[in-house]
Structure 1
Amino acid sequence: MKKKKGVRKFILTLHLVCSLVFGLFIIAVCATGSVLVFGNQIEHILNPQYFKPASSERNIGVKEAEKIFLEHYKGFQISRMDVPSKLTDVYHASMSKGHNEIEAYVDPSNGKLLGNFDREKSIVSFVKELHTHLLLDEIGETIIGIVAIAFIIILITGIYLWYPGIKRMFKSLKIKWNKSQMAKNLSLHNFIGVITLPFLLVVAITGMLFPFQEKIEESLKLKFTSNYPEELKSVDNGKQQIGLDTIVAQINKLHPEGELYKLRLPADKEGVIEAQLSDGSYDPEGKGNTSEFFDQFSGKHLGTFSKNTETVYDKFFIWRESLHRGTFGGVFVKIIYALVGIAPLGLGITGITMWALKRKNKVKKMSKLQQTA
């Protein structure tokens, strides 16, 4: 019995120390994650001039859009072009010239340049940098990983401290509004923690893997294989890069029922053109489940990356992203993720309140003992 009490006391102390040390970081990271769930929608609302075409017509093809971008931004190169689809209503090009990078937009209905949007200076970009790096570059990413580990410990120790047995599980989740302040806060703390636990645990584990997965694999000497064709190369035949309209035509032949999402263009003469599209099957990430690769000079089809070629490791990476960001189940799942991201704030408030009440009661007891002594 004493041993059991000792274990419980240790776990309670671990839960409390991790919560006090890392609590603010966890609340900040989860709250910013809630914002990022709807990051694209927020950017569109704040900057509608870049994302709303004059009409739903698509009179401008990929070739014309590429020409408009390059004519307006002399000396810039396109590294990526998003094509009008169910993901976006306009052409969007990521362009660079040396260290200068811009995001430009073209209306597909009339070819009008909608302007260039500096995403790096947007509020969503700031929130993303805070969420992933705490505004501290690489060291910030490591700190985020440590915070995620601490959060996993808090969640696991929390569920151990709460678990009342199978028979009393549901009864113990009742919120005690009419009881003492301590009982009320404890019941709220337990309710929020247990209800959101599956989501928070998944988010914490996947969040920890972003900075630490490679190190974990190296330390455990784990070797996994991926079928993503990273070694593909274009053959420089002395000609200019093939037109993007030719690539689009090939995509339409390869996937007559598919929908093209984006084109990634090479940065050097050995790089290949990558076309990302939806082939109509389930896509947990929501940004294209098939990639086709082409020689940038001849237009030769070099390879495919899709569900038919993915390894288990490739599938794991796809689901790691989608499970962390809540992209696998449409708007409903995103709403759940956004709400769950606020849960640590409620856990923090109720947890700190209970800790403060305990401290207050302890001081009162000590004071009474001193008075009676």
Structure 2
Amino acid sequence: MVLIENALESWIYPIDAHPTAGDIGIAATVNSYEKQIPTWFGFESKEAVPDPAKKTEAKDGAAILPFGQALGMEQEKYPHGKLITVTLPQKPGDTYQFGVKEGFGASSGSNSTIDMDASNGEVLYKMHPNWAINLYNTWRKGLHFATWGGVTTRWITFVFGMMPFVLMVTGLTIWQLKARARKKGKNRNMDRTTAVA
């Protein structure tokens, strides 16, 4: 038992709470400013969709395409995309928005959005899934929410996602153990000095 305690103390003593707190502080800062960090390097935080793509030029009385017809037109124009989500137009002037996954994406969500005119089926805008900011966002979302891979990959992602919390708890525990070890050392030294005197 004494050997285990000595080995544990020799392992704990060099570890300090300050580096652990620093790592957690850096991770928290990066997480807080994740939308602003790409702009520091000249990127946009997300692909800017032009204003004309958000609204159709259809008049208030214009008929909205039936969903089945709009879906067929989207699949005809982009046959290799996997449809993930659809946002239906709520009022005249709104667009159909198709969330599509094209190619490889790190998230189970869409990596491209297609805005389609709800009155005539014309594609107003399509996001580029291979642009750097869109790749970054799909990877960040996939890693943050563990939305990709099998069960093993999701568990590994969960464990690494919880790592800052684990490091904080273990750092505080090690800090307390070191404080106790220092206190025991001081008590032993005091006992030795009183025994010698």
For this structure pair, what is the TM-score category when the shorter chain's length is used for normalisation? 0.5 to 0.7
Query: Which residue pairs with 2:179 in the alignment?
Result: 359
Q: Describe how 1:172-321 pairs up with structure 2 within 5 A.
A: 179-180=4-5, 183=8, 186=11, 205=27, 208-216=29-37, 220=40, 223-225=42-44, 227-231=47-51, 232=53, 233-237=55-59, 238-266=61-89, 269-279=92-102, 281-307=103-129, 310-321=130-141
Q: Return the letter of the residue paired with 1:211.
A: S
Q: The residue matched to 2:4 in structure 1 has which SS? A: coil
Q: 1:244 Cα shift? A: 1.1
Q: The residue matched to 1:277 in structure 2 has which SS? A: strand
Q: The residue matched to 2:171 in structure 1 has which SS? A: helix
Query: Which residue pairs with 1:332 in the alignment?
Result: 152
Mapped partners of 2:120, 2:142: distance in 1:
35
> What do residues 239-288 of structure 1 show as CA deviations (whole Å, max 9, x unaligned)?
23322111111122123354322111345544321111234x21211112
Q: 1:361 Cα shift? A: 3.1
Q: CA 1:215–1:337 in structure 2 vs 1: closer, same or farther (change >3 Å)?
A: closer
| Unaligned 5+ runs, structure 1 | 1-177, 191-200
Query: Which residue pairs with 1:162 in the alignment?
Result: none
Q: Identity of paired residues, percent?
A: 19
Mapped partners of 1:181, 1:250: distance in 2:
73
Mapped partners of 1:223, 1:292: distance in 2:
25
Q: CA 1:259–1:355 in structure 2 vs 1: closer, same or farther (change >3 Å)?
A: closer
Mapped partners of 2:185, 2:47: distance in 1:
66
Mapped partners of 1:227, 1:349: distance in 2:
38
Q: 1:180 Cα shift? A: 1.8
Mapped partners of 1:209, 1:269: distance in 2:
41
Q: CA 1:256–1:358 in structure 2 vs 1: closer, same or farther (change >3 Å)?
A: closer
- The answer to whether the 8 A contact 1:272-1:295 is kept is yes
Mapped partners of 1:306, 1:261: distance in 2:
16
Mapped partners of 1:314, 1:339: distance in 2:
25
Query: Which residue pairs with 1:56 in the alignment?
Result: none
Query: Which residue pairs with 1:369 in the alignment?
Result: 190
TM-score (norm: length of structure 2): 0.66
Q: Describe how 1:31-50 pairs up with structure 2 within 5 A.
A: none
Mapped partners of 1:184, 1:264: distance in 2:
60
- The answer to whether the 8 A contact 1:274-1:292 is kept is yes
Q: CA 1:247–1:224 in structure 2 vs 1: closer, same or farther (change >3 Å)?
A: same
Aligned residues: 176
Query: Which residue pairs with 1:107 in the alignment?
Result: none
| Unaligned 5+ runs, structure 2 | 16-22
Mapped partners of 1:346, 1:313: distance in 2:
30
TM-score (norm: length of structure 1): 0.39
Q: CA 1:261–1:181 in structure 2 vs 1: closer, same or farther (change >3 Å)?
A: farther
Q: Describe how 1:97-116 pairs up with structure 2 within 5 A.
A: none
Q: 1:328 Cα shift? A: 4.6
- The answer to whether the 8 A contact 2:58-2:93 is kept is yes
> What do residues 70-127 of structure 1 show as CA deviations (whole Å, max 9, x unaligned)?
xxxxxxxxxxxxxxxxxxxxxxxxxxxxxxxxxxxxxxxxxxxxxxxxxxxxxxxxxx
Q: CA 1:342–1:245 in structure 2 vs 1: closer, same or farther (change >3 Å)?
A: same
Q: CA 1:212–1:295 in structure 2 vs 1: closer, same or farther (change >3 Å)?
A: same
Q: The residue matched to 2:106 in structure 1 has which SS? A: coil
